A and B are shown apart, each in its own frame.
Chain A
Amino acid sequence: MKGEKHISREEVEHVAWLARIELSEEEKELYTQQFNQILAYFSKLAELETEDVPPELHVVNLVNVCREDKAGKPLSVEEALKNAPKRRGEYFEAPRIL
């Protein structure tokens, strides 16, 4: 069945850019098709009567899982930087921004 919304190739390109992923021409084509298939599943779900069902944003039935404001021991600087792709002194080094 046809979904009400349709994802265009431009939207796939935009989402790829937001996720900082580079896609080949073939992948763009493939994902456009797949995105639309996924949307089609959801339009099947949209056929259900949900007028009186409140939206559920969490699947776990828990609330207020919290901790006290008590300080623990942080990592050492060396531990913290251990997995850094690049470091400079005690800093993580990232590429220039602008």
Chain B
Amino acid sequence: MRAVEAAAEGLKVRIGLEVHCQITSLKTKLFCSCPSDYRGKPPNSHVCPVCLGLPGSLPVLNWKAVEYAVMAALALNCKVSRRTLFMRKNYFYPDLPKNFQISQYDRAGGAPIGSDGYLEFMVEKKRKTVRIRRVHLEEDPGKLSYKGAIDTSPYTLVDYNRAGIALLEIVTEPDMENPREARAFLQKLRSTLEHLGIFNGGLEGAMRCDANISLEGGGRVEIKNISSFKDVEKALSFEVVRQRDLLKKGIAVRSETRHWDENRRITVSLRVKEEEQDYRYFPEPDLTPIEISEETIRRLQSEMPELPDARRERFIRQYGLPPYDAEVLTSDRAMADFFEDCVKLCGKPKAAANWLMGDVLQVLYSLNQDLAESKLTPAYLAELIGLMDKGEISIKIAKKVLWETMKTGKPPSLVVEEKGWKRIADENKLRSIVEKVFSENVKAVEDALRDPKAAHYLVGKVMEATGGMADPETTYRLISERLKALRGSAS
């Protein structure tokens, strides 16, 4: 390896994120009373003069959005601004009907709702802290669609149903050192906002993300249009390889904005972006400044629900879970809720945790589902654990039952009954099967008489004959007894 290449391998990576999360728990938009449940509705059916930017309309702030934003800022350990205001961010793009976006700005006299915070999370069993630069409120733009690809479509179609939905912008310092950390950060952020009860990350497009990434000695590259946090890791990994390859060849990495193409799984260069001052921020004259009193902050702080870190510690204390399991379970609110509901029903925290983190996640992955959309309920998992506990099914069968239940939505006991998967523990029934196996496998019986280890072959044969339903312990005992009897009669 040449010296340049060797150097490129060891270059430090710095990643920062700019995350946009819709405050999905709000019933209305940020500055108008249009309902926020726009998903799956006809285009332009959730709009009014305010969010269409019609002349003479006046935006009025949704106070609940401010409270939720303050809660998010507090959960992210931010300083909350006592006085803040909205600004106009000016640019031309068809997703903004007014040609400006009402947002917040940390310069020109503005202040975001929260600043200078941090979020801690686990990545590869190590604790990591990422600093939060700011948390602010702004309005979501509308949604554009095209005929075919964006660069060949003869026109742009605009749906303003999403325009004006309350959006939290959360900006980190460039503290992440690899794509995996970026993904873990987003996972923790999602779980935190979900625990606050202000956000549902399962809704399509509720969390979107821009990332900036630089390698030591290279320019800063921004990646836009990452629509799922699973894609963040992919997009960033692609960039690390691309930038490292350039540096290996001694080519400079230039600062630019790139677009994540999720179909081709690559980033592509965009035109040079407008300089920041070109947004010509100025205070929004149609909205009054916001004052957040000490009492409001105190009240919100006291009403704060249990957050993932506290819940993790409680899981360790209350259920005796290993710290790693507690961390994994609480990294996803739906999973943590599912776990606790299941434990209430079955009283087996260890088993519930193992099933959830192991087989359930695997089946969800194969079915390409979220826990929230899965047919598996806490009651079904509790039932499955109970069936195993009573010895009615083996672990092997339980895994098959889980798969069936998650695919069809049938309760585990019904699956067992319909498939005839109940364990055979009835001694008379098993004894007759053992006898049949002995008479059909004379050679194997002779082997087993000489070498007790060879008896396993006979156990296997019984299992085969019963489709795996024979109770292994009883089977083994019956075979041993029969061998003993044969030995006794031979001598």
Contact = CB atoms under 8 A, between A and B. Distances in A.
Interface of A: 18, 20, 55, 57-58, 60, 62-72, 74-77, 80-81, 83, 88-98
Nearest to A60: B288
Contact of A18 (B43, B52, B278): B278
Interface in B113-152: 144-146, 150-151
Interface stretch (B60-68, B324-332, B338-346, B360-368): B60-68
Interface of B: prevailing SS:
loop
User: What's the interface size class on B, roughly?
Assistant: 35 or more
B283 A57 contact: yes
B62 A88 contact: no
A89 B43 CA distance: 9
Contacts of A96: 146, 153-156
B46 interface: yes
A65 B288 contact: yes
Given A58-B288, A63-B289, A97-B94, A69 B62 contact: yes
Interface in B12-59: 26-28, 32-36, 42-49, 52, 54
Contacts, number: 131
Contacts of A58: 85, 283, 285, 288-289
Contacts of B49: 75
Interface of A: prevailing SS:
loop
A63 B47 contact: no
A94 B158 contact: yes
B60 A67 contact: yes
B64 A64 contact: no
B92 interface: yes
A96 B49 CA distance: 25
A93 to B, nearest CB: 5
A38 to B, nearest CB: 15
A81 B97 CA distance: 12
B395 interface: no
A65 to B, nearest CB: 5
B160 interface: yes
A84 to B, nearest CB: 9
B9 to A, nearest CB: 36
Contacts of B32: 72
30 contacts: A57-B110, A57-B289, A58-B85, A62-B288, A63-B288, A64-B288, A64-B290, A65-B287, A65-B288, A66-B61, A67-B61, A67-B63, A70-B27, A71-B33, A71-B35, A72-B32, A74-B34, A74-B35, A74-B45, A77-B43, A77-B44, A88-B157, A90-B43, A90-B44, A91-B157, A91-B159, A93-B158, A94-B94, A94-B157, A94-B158
A81 to B, nearest CB: 6
Contact of B47 (A20, A57, A60, A75): A75
B291 interface: yes
Interface string B266-310: 000000001000101001010111110000000000000000000
Interface in B88-113: 90, 92-94, 109-110
A48 B303 CA distance: 48
A93 B45 contact: no
A76 B34 CA distance: 12
A80 B47 contact: yes
User: Which residue, of A55, A69, A83, has the highest number of chain B Cβ atoms within 10 A?
Assistant: A69
A62 B137 CA distance: 20
Contacts of B26: 69
B164 to A, nearest CB: 11
Contact of B150 (A68, A90, A97): A97
B42 A68 contact: no
Contacts of A77: 42-45
B16 to A, nearest CB: 26
B157 to A, nearest CB: 4
Given A55-B109, A62-B288, A83 B54 contact: yes
Contact of A95 (B150, B155, B285): B155
A95 B156 contact: yes
B102 to A, nearest CB: 14
B85 A64 contact: no
Nearest to A78: B44
B26 to A, nearest CB: 6
A92 B150 contact: no
A68 B48 contact: no
B280 A18 contact: yes
Contacts of B33: 67, 70-72
A63 B158 CA distance: 34
Contacts of B28: 69-72
A65 B60 CA distance: 7
